[in-house]
Amino acid sequence: MKYLATFIVLFVVYLFLAGFTVYELILGGIVSAALTVILVKYVNFSIDWQFPIKLVKFIFIYLPVFIWKLLLANLDVAKRVLSPKIPLNPGIVKIKTNLQGDFGKLALANSITLTPGTLSIDVEGDSLYIHTVDVKGKNEEENRERISEPFEKILGGIFK
Amino acid sequence: MLIASYVFLVIGGLFFLLGGLGILRMPDTFNRIQAGTKATTLGSFSILIGVAFANPSWIFKIIIIIVFIVISNPIGSSAIAKATYRSNHIPTNLVQDDLAKRGEEHDTN
């Protein structure tokens, strides 16, 4: 299945860059297959039969939330930057996550970086260290609820 | 079509302007990284969508570019933030610092 995953990634990238003509389909298939044989030993992700379901979930459940949060984050940045005295109460907080896989943690950390007022600095085991512009929560639980809970729920259903 | 393209291009430029202004105005490194990352990510999206409206045949290339940006931009900012912390450029205005409490044994790796 590692071969299949590598092949699909390479083939999709090739087609998106080259276009969807018959010649490109054939040539892309050959090139992707050749590259798959070379690259597969550096690849550490795999797919299973649930992959299409996960992809649909990712696109239709996760992405709208993510884009909405990204818009909110930018409005937040705009508000802070344009106010005469910048309102700040910064701190680095630690947050536990239940996600196990590397891809889940990557998606969670990236989502946290692009949501309002937070920046993930480091991931270590199952804890993330996050810089927030405004520390509101008194303890770890409150911070967790405020920062990572909405994404954790969605990503938990996709990446486990 | 071109009108929509111009609107998105202008919005993107505006977000880049805000990001630059944020980098100038924020008082410490982490807040500068935050302003920079968010504003440039959405600014790039907006400009690329504007380009897609102007030239619809590029839409798939633009999707690839957007995917790469949304993966690499937060990772880059996280790497810069981590390097900042490791090199002891820690801002003095932090009200809470859990990263300092994680013990000495992790700092060596």
**Tokens in use for A61?**
């459940």
Contact yes or no for B98 and A94 at CB 8 A: yes
pLDDT (tens digit, 9 = 90+) per residue, B44-100? 999 999 999 998 888 889 999 998 998 898 899 889 888 888 887 777 777 777 777
Tell me what pLDDT residue A42 has: 81
3-state secondary structure of A128: strand
What is each CA distance from B14 to A82, A118, B34, B93, in whole angstroms? 13, 22, 17, 29
CB-CB neighbors (< 8 A) of A117 in chain B: 34
Tell me what pLDDT residue B52 has: 92
User: Considering only CB atoms, which residues of chain B are within 8 Å of chain A?
Assistant: 15, 18-19, 21-22, 25-28, 30-31, 33-35, 37-39, 41-42, 60-61, 63-64, 70-71, 74-75, 77-78, 81-82, 85, 91, 93-102, 106
Band (B5; pLDDT cuts 50, 70, 90)? very high
CB A30 within 8 A of CB A48: no
Contact yes or no for B21 and A81 at CB 8 A: yes
Kindly tell me if the per-residue pLDDT of A127 is higher than 60: yes
Band (B105; pLDDT cuts 50, 70, 90)? very low
Most confident of the ranges A109-118, A150-159, B69-78? B69-78
- In angstroms, the CA A133 to CA A86 distance is 11
Kindly tell me if the per-residue pLDDT of B108 is higher than 50: no
Q: What average pLDDT does range B19-34 have in this prediction?
A: 85
CB-CB neighbors (< 8 A) of B95 in chain A: 89-91, 135
pLDDT (tens digit, 9 = 90+) per residue, A35-51? 888 888 887 777 777 77
Instruction: Select the more confidently predicted residue: B60 or A2.
Output: B60
Tell me what pLDDT residue A138 has: 67
Q: Using CB atoms within 10 A of its CB, is residue B23 exposed (0-12), middle (13-18) or buried (19+)?
A: middle
Q: What average pLDDT does range A123-127 have in this prediction?
A: 80
Q: C-alpha A160: how far from its chain's center?
A: 14
Tell me what pLDDT residue A126 has: 79
Number of helical H runs and strand E runs in chain A: 7, 3
CB A152 within 8 A of CB A98: yes
Query: What percent of chain A lies above the pLDDT cut of 70?
Result: 97
- In angstroms, the CA B21 to CA A86 distance is 12
Lowest mean pLDDT among A50-59, A141-150, B6-15: A141-150
**Tokens in use for A121?**
């600095």
CA distance A116 to chain B (A): 9
Tell me what pLDDT residue B48 has: 93
Shortest CA distance to B38 belongs to which of A89, A112, A100?
A112
Q: Using CB atoms within 10 A of its CB, is residue B88 exposed (0-12), middle (13-18) or buried (19+)?
A: exposed
User: Which one-letter amino acid corresponds to residue B83?
Assistant: A
The predicted complex's ipTM stands at 0.80
3-state secondary structure of A95: strand
CB pairs under 8 A between A and B: 121
Long-range contacts of A66-69 (CB under 8 A, 24+ apart): A66/A111, A66/A114, A66/A151, A69/A111, A69/A114, A69/A115, A69/A116, A69/A150
CA atoms A89, A90, A94, A95: torsion sign? positive
CB A104 within 8 A of CB A153: no
Domain ranges of chain B: 2-88
